[in-house]
């Protein structure tokens, strides 16, 4: 018995597992601060005297998340390109992987700022909902979008610091930024009774403080790698076409992803404000799982990009096997936690009895989603590191088609359960399709041949 136990433990503590945890653990701990912020937002809104505030923040957050997650290519492409530059030991490419996306992020951020009002009006007209909820969502968005330049620049800085393997920096950025947001959230909403605007202002201030910290960390990395001001002056040139093509494919992939998540809120709004509110509560559990498991995905991104730049297939295979072992174990722990303690978590998030009762009907889905989603999270990391964006786009298209078909068939029959069923199938299809593509490349030896 002891011998079998020792063999089992040794299988989970190989050098590849330890290397993975050195990258994954700091990112898991820092990533948890992101959904923790969402939990605090939900808790402070959920304890006000009406679910209208929670529903309004849920819709406002959905719209702002749609916009910013749509531009997540700024982080994803930057991580892959920076990790490949480190693997190939090319400082000029590492610098270019920072400067070009950063300029693009600032340009897009200023554009969002300029078009803020028409974007808000269009988004809320499309989402619809009860007038009182829409009003709260508008109050939130008018303030939240003031942070657009900082939010997008932070995506680039986070991705670049991660790809450059300066791991303390992204960890500190996420933790400090989100903890500041949480403190401001509680102070402005609970202390100063600012309600929905308080949540929005807390995020705006935290984003700009994070930008200043991130710029300082990036400059430190440049100095450590002996990259001069003179090199900065020419870093915006070269391979711009590749960057734009890569970002185009990730943009299309992100658009499909966000459209699928938006429908959860939009279709839920058609089922009543209580359904919107309870889905917002439960999405915090999915978000927590996704960000915790993304710590492994980030580690896979870095190793995948480094291996791609160095053309090291053995390194890639070792880290993939280790990531599967560790991430599925954590996913199982999360699933069991939601299954047996989900009702207590919901009780912490809201004092409204009607929302607690309604949430209990959907807790089984929360236990299934981490197990169904872990494969696609890890494979996303594998493909991001190798900058194989076109294949990620195609996989997302297949999963989105399955998601839409499921809603079309099941929504009239199952109501809100159909939304969670479609989401579960969506995650599973992403993992299955990317897994098939990855297996095909390994069998044919084509993973390192073509650089998309």
Report pLDDT digits (tens) over 258-307: 788 878 777 877 777 778 778 878 888 888 888 888 888 888 888 888 77
CA distances 443 to 375, 394, 440, Å, are 19, 20, 5
pLDDT confidence of residue 365:
92
DSSP secondary-structure letter at 146? G
Contacts of 73 (CB under 8 A, 6+ apart): 246, 247, 250, 251, 254, 389
Cα–Cα distance for residue pair 182/199, rounded to 1 Å = 9
The CA distance from 392 to 381, in Å, is 10
Tokens of 103: 């300029």
Give the list of residues 6+ apart from residue 256 with CB closer than 8 angstroms, or none.
393, 396, 397, 399, 400
- The pLDDT value recorded for residue 8 is 42
pLDDT at 420: 93
Residue written as tokens 């968005």?
141
The burial class, CB within 10 Å (0-12 / 13-18 / 19+), for 132 is middle
Residue with tokens 């440049």: 222
Helix (H) or strand (E) holding 117: helix 116-127
Q: Are 158 and 170 in contact (CB under 8 A)?
A: yes
3-state secondary structure of 218: helix
| 270 DSSP assignment | T
Counting as low any pLDDT under 50, the low residues of the chain are 1-10, 451-452
Contact 44, 189 (CB under 8 A): yes
pTM (global) more than 0.85: no
DSSP track, 9-47: HHHTSSHHHHHHHHHHHHHHHHHTHHHHHHHHHHHHHHT
C-alpha dihedral (64, 390, 420, 51), degrees to nearest 10: 0
Looking up tokens 């939009």 gives 266
Q: How far is CA 125 from the centre of its chain?
A: 26
Cα separation, 392 vs 411, in Å, equals 27
First to last CA, the chain: 49
pLDDT value, residue 311: 77
Quick one: pLDDT at residue 9? Answer: 42
Helix axes 273-310, 240-269, angle to 10 degrees: 160
pLDDT at residue 297, as a whole number = 87
In this prediction, residue 399 carries a pLDDT of: 95
- Residue 411 has a pLDDT of 87
pLDDT tens digits, residue range 346-398? Answer: 888 777 777 788 888 888 999 999 999 999 999 998 898 888 888 999 999 99
């Amino acid at each position: 018995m002891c011998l079998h136990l020792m063999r089992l433990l040794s299988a989970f503590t190989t050098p590849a597992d330890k290397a993975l945890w050195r990258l994954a653990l700091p990112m898991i701990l820092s990533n948890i601060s992101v959904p923790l912020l969402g939990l605090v937002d939900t808790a402070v809104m959920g304890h006000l005297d009406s679910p209208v505030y929670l529903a309004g923040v849920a819709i406002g957050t959905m719209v702002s998340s749609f916009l910013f997650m749509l531009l997540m290519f700024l982080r994803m492409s930057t991580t892959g390109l920076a990790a490949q530059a480190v693997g190939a030991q090319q400082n000029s490419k590492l610098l270019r992987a920072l400067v070009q996306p950063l300029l693009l992020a600032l340009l897009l951020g200023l554009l969002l700022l300029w078009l803020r009002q028409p974007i808000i009006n269009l988004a809320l007209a499309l989402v619809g909902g009860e007038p009182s909820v829409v009003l709260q969502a508008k109050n939130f968005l008018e303030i939240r979008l003031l942070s657009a330049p900082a939010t997008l620049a932070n995506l680039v800085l986070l991705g670049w610091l991660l790809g450059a393997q300066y791991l303390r920096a992204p960890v500190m950025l996420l933790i400090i930024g989100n903890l500041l947001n949480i403190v401001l959230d509680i102070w402005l909403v609970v202390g100063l009774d600012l309600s929905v605007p308080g949540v929005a202002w807390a995020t705006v201030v935290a984003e700009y403080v994070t930008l200043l910290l991130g710029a300082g960390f990036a400059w430190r990395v440049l100095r450590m790698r002996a990259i001069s001001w003179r090199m900065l002056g020419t870093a915006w040139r070269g391979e711009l076409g590749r960057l734009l093509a890569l970002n185009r494919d990730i943009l299309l992939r992100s658009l499909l992803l966000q459209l699928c998540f938006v429908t959860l809120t939009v279709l839920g709004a058609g089922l009543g404000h209580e359904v919107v509110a309870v889905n917002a509560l439960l999405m915090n559990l999915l978000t927590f799982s996704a960000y915790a498991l993304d710590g492994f995905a980030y580690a896979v991104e870095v190793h995948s990009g480094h291996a791609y730049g160095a053309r090291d297939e053995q390194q890639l295979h070792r880290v993939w096997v280790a990531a599967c072992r560790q991430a599925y174990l954590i996913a199982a722990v999360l699933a069991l936690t939601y299954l047996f303690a989900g009702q207590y978590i919901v009780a912490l998030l809201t004092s409204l009895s009607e929302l607690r009762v309604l949430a209990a009907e959907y807790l089984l889905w929360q236990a299934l989603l981490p197990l169904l989603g872990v494969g696609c999270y890890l494979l996303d990391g594998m493909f991001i590191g190798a900058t194989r964006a076109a294949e990620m786009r195609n996989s997302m298209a297949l999963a989105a088609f399955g998601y839409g078909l499921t809603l079309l068939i099941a929504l009239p029959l199952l109501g809100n359960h159909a939304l969670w069923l479609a989401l579960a199938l969506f995650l599973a299809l992403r993992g299955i399709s990317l897994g098939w593509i990855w297996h095909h490349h390994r069998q044919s030896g084509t993973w390192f041949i073509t650089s998309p």
